[in-house]
Amino acid sequence: MCGRFVGTYRVADLLAEIGDAVEEAGLVLRLPDTEEFLLHNFNVAPTSPIPVLVVRDGALEVEIMQWGLVPSWSSDPRVGSKMINARAETLTEKVSFKNLVRSNRCIIPMSGFYEWPREGERPKVPFYVTREDDGLMWAAGLWTTSAVVDNGYTCAMVTRESGTDLSAIHHRTPAHFSSELACEWAMSSMEVGELCNVSLQPTLSFHEVSTDVNSVRNNRASLIEETTNLDQPLESEHPRLF
């Protein structure tokens, strides 16, 4: 996964999609009392503040965190821009993540994400990736606290090898689940190895979108609309993480 995603949802959307799963998991869903958008961003970039879901005292609740993990021992907040993703295959080996795997799990809700193919003759153009059934994506994440970040919380999104539904455009994808399995992840009842189990992931679909996505200055609903980029110059601002 590259470094941009889309989040456009309200509290009511989270409740409608994950409410039953939370109840079945024996948790309470503790959400803000608002009808406003929790996140309404069509071009979420690294170090942006985002809502994530964490389990605390038997409840699944919302916490605002910086997307881009800054380890608690780091004195440099700039490392967060390079630590937006954590590879599932090496979570228990990397010093920045291994101590978070059991106790600091989170769920990152997304409407979809952008990806840029790395092969082919055409200039690298963006694709918008969503669940085939148009549901929210519940991506696995890890979080920690940081004294050098304003709100004190930072997180990284876990990624895995792509399945056949996405491998045509990129070899990695967020480790995302149904709402039921996402609750298992957040409660630490899911084994780390299951993050790489492609059969557990809802099917994805994708379409080409405007190269306007490539600039973080652009943020509007039309960015996710299907288009064809015919010989458009590419303004390359998106992170190339893999």
Strand, helix or coil at 7?
strand
**Angle formed at CA 7 by CA 148 and CA 151, multiple of 5 degrees:** 15
CB contact set of 135 (below 8 Å; sequence gap of 6+): 17, 202
By the 10 Å C-beta count (0-12 exposed, 13-18 middle, 19+ buried), 105 is classed as: buried
CA distance 62 to 108: 10
97 Cα distance to chain centroid: 16
Q: H or E segment at 19?
A: helix 11-24
CA distances from 91 to 97, 108, 130, 194, 196 (A): 6, 17, 25, 12, 11
Encode burial over 187-210: b for 16+ CB neighbours within 10 A, e otherwise. eeebebebbebeeebbebebeebb
Decide: 180 and 11 in contact? Cβ < 8 Å. no
Instruction: Tell me which residues are annotated as active site.
Output: 2, 115
Give residue 91's identity as a one-letter amino acid code. Answer: L
By the 10 Å C-beta count (0-12 exposed, 13-18 middle, 19+ buried), 33 is classed as: exposed
